[in-house]
Amino acid sequence: MGRGGRQQVAARVPSRRAQLEELGTGRRRGGPRLNKLSFSDFRQSLRHHGRLRLRWFDWRRRAAVFSRSNEPGALRRIYVINLDRRPDRWQRVRRELDRFRDRHGERLSGIARRFSAVDARYLEAAPDPTVLVPRFTLADQLTVDPNPLLRIDDEARAREIRMTKQEVAVALSHIEVWKLIANGDVSCALVLEDDVFMTYGFARDLETTWSSLTPTGADQPDFDLLYLAFDEVGNASATQDRDQARKLRQPGIWEAAAYVLSRDGARKLLDATPVYGPIDLWLNMQFGRLRAFTAARPLIEQRIDEPSTNSYSVMPVLAQLGVITREKPLLPRTKRLHGPVVAVGDQGSGLTALAGALSMLGYSCCSDLDRLPAVEQSRLLRGERGRLFNAYVNIGSLSFEALEQIGKASRSARFITTSADQVLPPTVRDRVLRLTPEVKDKWAALSEFLDIDYPAFPYPTDRDLGRRALSQRAPLKSARKLTELKSDRGPWILRPRRDWSGIALDRDPASPASLVRVDWAAGDTLENAAWRLRDDTFPSNMALFRPANVRQLRGQALLTLRHEQTPVRALTSGAIASTASYRYGRFKAEIRPSGVPGLITGMFLHRNGPRQEIDVEFIGKDPSKMLVNVFYNPGPEGTKLEYGYRGTPTLVDLGFDATADFHTYEIDWLPNTIRWLIDGEVVYERMTWDPTPIPNRPLQFNLNLWHSRSSELAGTLASAALPASASLRSIEILRNAGSASDELVDLVGASPAGHS
């Protein structure tokens, strides 16, 4: 039935506060920290499930605060913000509410109203600027959640952060509910997101909180906003009495998953619009104009066991600034998928885009070939185990007869055609989806057909590649000793097998004449339109990059790592990056790496959203080897697939000490192949699915010197050897004209010398 890739990618995204706690607030690999972080996650999950179970032992089910009758002081309305595509969550919230009865013994779901949430997947235009401005500043973030490593200064006030589409959709949903309350017939309403549960003691403690906010002799509680779900951060003052509500005078509260909003409070919030930034952050800024309170403790909590597609815009910024000091391994969580899936159709009907979509759903998808490798085809036709893939798109050897045989051999097989007039075997007609170009919402059709959740990502729009011809893989002329290191596991990484070395395709087409060179040589200035000096960091890097640590001296550029105390790191170093991103090309540099244990000299191509990366790294503890690596996540621009912890690393034995002299190191990145060269000689290469697909999105070229948090990877830092430097004599990018990030034109380069 194939390999363990028959699974749908999913991920639990914890709250913003939980993410910061997991990652620490003090690049890529973390080695021994994996077990520690996993244990932390286990304890958090165990406590959460304990609270979920404990609530069933709560005997107090009469929530006297609620009533459907028009009575003084009653909470008469509940709004549940719920996506149209998640009726399961709406039903679950109704069941949760029905654990309780109002003051007259009626189920709470009787006063619940479902609000159709704004869906981030369909947000195309920018929001109305009179309602929501989709940006905020680092200073806003620090006002709510101060960090001892950062200051609220002019730089923080000037650093703008763009909201994610998910944050925009959440904010717009809450604003629309405020309008319902402001213009409604009830004095206040409980607003819930659809992933919450009521904790043990909910009914009892809500009644106590409600009473504490009702002045003597008054019929109605006196507040504008009452948080029932919240995370305390910043300057929020502790309650003096565990039974009393707490008045909020300063920012310091995260979450907007459950709160009671009065009619007056809703009108005040709407009068204060436009909202700036995420909704829970902006609400903190309104405490001065609102009578805002929290319960003495969170009476409602968000579930953490529910797969989420939320995305927090501030997290990458905090990582770059060095506030996040640990990197939590981000690996796919998956569930079983139907399959194998076989897709056929005419050229130009969207087959390559469909292959990308299936990959984004978590399939290991083999596509756009004239034929399958013989062993894979045989196992597919016979319905045998041991297949490498579980989705096959536009494969020439899968004829009408082959499709019929697959359908008979595997009752779980699914078939997709992208052409309206495609003839398929009658024996599989009850397992066919016609996904023609006329289908407007292809995700909806795929989701229903494959019985999966509707994805949060944009559907790919790649043009069809056509069927590419398989060929024999030629041996390298200069074979080096290789050591395969432990890789990540996931749907886009094939497990090692002796009979598999990737998919070799006919030679990439010859290079066009219009090649453009982007280069730097000693003596030229590095800070120009093509290059920039980095002033950020990443979680696994124990040094902060600073432009001052890149110096040009005696015919070379030095990247220097030194002891220098900053608010976020005790070390600083140097890094260079291209200002543009490129899709395919030759990327080379003359480098003499640092040989100090604990340091890594890097030359690599990288992007996020989706994360893709091609690496050359020199490990200071063993300068006789070069580490090469590839990270791959599928999807079009903006796809929040960032999986990868170890990647797919391989150590290449150099046969010399890289720190003794300069050598030219090169990444030759082609649509079907990646080759690594030293002084013009190919020393290592990877083909498609060897073990990952070839990265296919624009990447930025980087060179840096950094200290890894993982001593397992880089060795223990030899502090006495600092300052230490890596030296550069030249950098060169050879790309196709128009292949920079603004024009995604493939560069198809000629085979370099030394490869047969």
Percent of the chain with pLDDT over 90: 65
Tracing tokens 């050229």 back to the chain, one arrives at 347
DSSP E strands in 379-439: the ranges are 391-395, 414-417, 432-434
With beta carbons less than 8 A apart as the criterion, state whether 161 and 135 touch.
yes
281 with 390, same domain? Answer: no
With beta carbons less than 8 A apart as the criterion, state whether 704 and 617 touch.
no
Q: Given this model, what pLDDT does residue 292 score?
A: 95
378 with 266, same domain? Answer: no
543 with 412, same domain? Answer: no
Q: What's the per-residue H, E or C state across 316-357?
A: HHHHHHCCCCCCCCCCCEEEECCCCEEEECCCCCCHHHHHHH
In CATH, what number is assigned to the domain containing residue 54? 3.90.550
Percent of the chain with pLDDT over 70: 86
Angstrom distance (rounded) from CA 726 to CA 620: 10
Q: Enter the tokens of residue 105.
A: 């013994």
With beta carbons less than 8 A apart as the criterion, state whether 559 and 725 touch.
yes
201 with 251, same domain? Answer: yes
For residue 648, tell me if it sits in a domain: yes
For residue 19, tell me if it sits in a domain: no
Q: Given this model, what pLDDT does residue 329 score?
A: 52
Q: Given this model, what pLDDT does residue 574 score?
A: 97
544 with 610, same domain? Answer: yes
Rounded mean pLDDT of 634-657? 90
Judged against a pLDDT cut of 50, whether residue 190 lies above it is answered with yes
Domain boundary among 450, 469, 491: 450
558 with 425, same domain? Answer: no
Q: Given this model, what pLDDT does residue 311 score?
A: 67
Judged against a pLDDT cut of 50, whether residue 186 lies above it is answered with yes
For residue 682, tell me if it sits in a domain: yes
Amino acid occupying residue 560: T
Which helix (H) or strand (E) segment holds residue 468: the answer is: none
433 with 295, same domain? Answer: no
Angstrom distance (rounded) from CA 195 to CA 173: 15
Instruction: Identify the bridge partners of residue 133 per DSSP, sorted by sequence position.
Output: 276
Q: Given this model, what pLDDT does residue 28 score?
A: 33
Judged against a pLDDT cut of 80, whether residue 577 lies above it is answered with yes
Q: pTM score, two decimals?
A: 0.82
* C-alpha distances in Å from residue 295, one per residue of 56, 178, 200, 223, 246: 21, 21, 14, 12, 6
Tracing tokens 């913000």 back to the chain, one arrives at 81
Residue 354: pLDDT band with limits 50, 70, 90: very high
Phi and psi at residue 4, to the nearest 5°: -75, 30
360 with 492, same domain? Answer: no
User: Which one has a higher pLDDT value, 457 or 199?
Assistant: 199
544 with 591, same domain? Answer: yes
622 with 520, same domain? Answer: yes
Q: In sequence order, which residues have a C-beta less than 8 Å from that of residue 61 and are 6 or more positions away?
A: 99, 100, 101, 203
Angstrom distance (rounded) from CA 51 to CA 40: 17
Domain boundary among 259, 286, 302: 302
Instruction: Identify the bridge partners of residue 293 per DSSP, sorted by sequence position.
Output: 226, 247
Question: Parallel, antiparallel, or unpaired for β 258-262 and 225-227?
Answer: antiparallel
Q: In sequence order, which residues have a C-beta less than 8 Å from that of residue 535 and are 6 or more positions away?
A: 545, 546, 547
Question: Parallel, antiparallel, or unpaired for β 650-653 and 663-669?
Answer: unpaired
Judged against a pLDDT cut of 50, whether residue 22 lies above it is answered with no
For residue 588, tell me if it sits in a domain: yes
435 with 508, same domain? Answer: no
Q: Whole-number mean pLDDT of the chain?
A: 86
For residue 232, tell me if it sits in a domain: yes
Instruction: Identify the bridge partners of residue 493 per DSSP, sorted by sequence position.
Output: 490
In CATH, what number is assigned to the domain containing residue 681? 2.60.120.200
Domain boundary among 426, 450, 474: 450
Q: Given this model, what pLDDT does residue 480 score?
A: 87
Residue 540 CA neighbour count, 13 Å, CB half: 23
- The number of folded domains in the chain is 3
For residue 45, tell me if it sits in a domain: no
For residue 667, tell me if it sits in a domain: yes
Residue 507: pLDDT band with limits 50, 70, 90: low
Rounded mean pLDDT of 98-108? 93
Q: Given this model, what pLDDT does residue 239 score?
A: 52
Phi-psi map region of 175: left, alpha, beta (phi>0 left; psi -120 to 50 alpha) = alpha
The 3-state DSSP class for residue 561 equals strand
User: Which one has a higher pLDDT value, 329 or 590?
Assistant: 590
Lowest mean per-residue pLDDT among 202-216, 356-370, 673-687, 721-735:
202-216
Q: pLDDT tens, 291-349?
A: 999 999 999 999 876 655 566 788 888 888 887 766 555 545 556 889 899 999 999 99
Which helix (H) or strand (E) segment holds residue 103: the answer is: none
Domain that holds residue 75: 50-302
- Long-range contact list for 102-106, CB < 8 A, 24+ apart? 102/62, 102/63, 102/64, 102/66, 102/67, 102/68, 103/62, 103/63, 103/64, 103/65, 103/66, 103/67, 103/71, 103/74, 104/67, 104/68, 104/69, 105/62, 106/68
Lowest mean per-residue pLDDT among 455-459, 583-587, 655-659, 731-735:
455-459
For residue 461, tell me if it sits in a domain: no
In CATH, what number is assigned to the domain containing residue 431? 3.40.50
Judged against a pLDDT cut of 70, whether residue 508 lies above it is answered with no
Is cis: bond before 610, omega within 30 of 0? yes
88 with 222, same domain? Answer: yes
Q: Given this model, what pLDDT does residue 237 score?
A: 58
Residue 12: pLDDT band with limits 50, 70, 90: very low
Angstrom distance (rounded) from CA 253 to CA 227: 9
